[in-house]
Each structure stands twice: as structure tokens, then as C-alpha cells.
Amino acid sequence: MSTDMRPPDDDHMIRCPRLGHMISFSYCRRENQGLPCFKTLDCWFEHFEVERFLREHLTPDQWEKAFKRSSKTKVSSLMELIQQAKERTKEES
């Protein structure tokens, strides 16, 4: 692992697990409506000190928006939505 804190140049590309093709760090850094993709830390940690770099370049609010994942799983979110739909159906009947 590199201990360099500078991000790689745009000619350094890695395969994006979400998109399935090669991308540069500059894309990952702004992919999420101007914020980093939520997978940026996972994808780039082997290439440079990505967490340190982003913590120095993002506000705490931006960090939270980019990397704070919901504690709910997809299954629990779907179960909650199904339950809400059932309750609405009962109320409408």
C-alpha cells in the first residue's frame, strides 16, 4: 500500500465495481452529486491515503452525506415498506 496522500493523476485508472469499467479518482471524487461515491474508500485505499485526503478536503457534513450509510439493510427496508402498504390497504378497506 502506498503512503502517498496525493491522489493519482487521471491517467491512473481502476475498475469501478459499480459501473464495470475503468475510471479515475477524479470521477469517484465527484460522482455522488458533487460528493465522493460511497465506495471511494473501499476502491482507492490501496492506491493512496484516500481517507486522510478526503477528510482534509471535505467538511464533516459532506463526509457524513457521502459515507454515512443507513443502518437498515435492503431487506429490512423492503419489509418496512411492505408493512406500510398493508396498513394503508387495511385503512382504505
DSSP secondary structure letters along 22-76: EEEHHHHHHTBTTB--TTHHHHHTTTS-HHHHHHHHS-HHHHHHHH---SS-HHH
Q: Are 8 and 47 in contact (CB under 8 A)?
A: yes
For residue 10, give the 3-state DSSP assignment: coil
Q: What is the pLDDT of residue 92?
A: 83
Q: What is the pTM of this model?
A: 0.68
Q: Is the pLDDT of residue 1 over 50?
A: no
Q: Map out the domains of the chain as residue ranges.
A: 13-92
CA 54 to chain centre: 13
Q: Is the pLDDT of residue 20 over 50?
A: yes
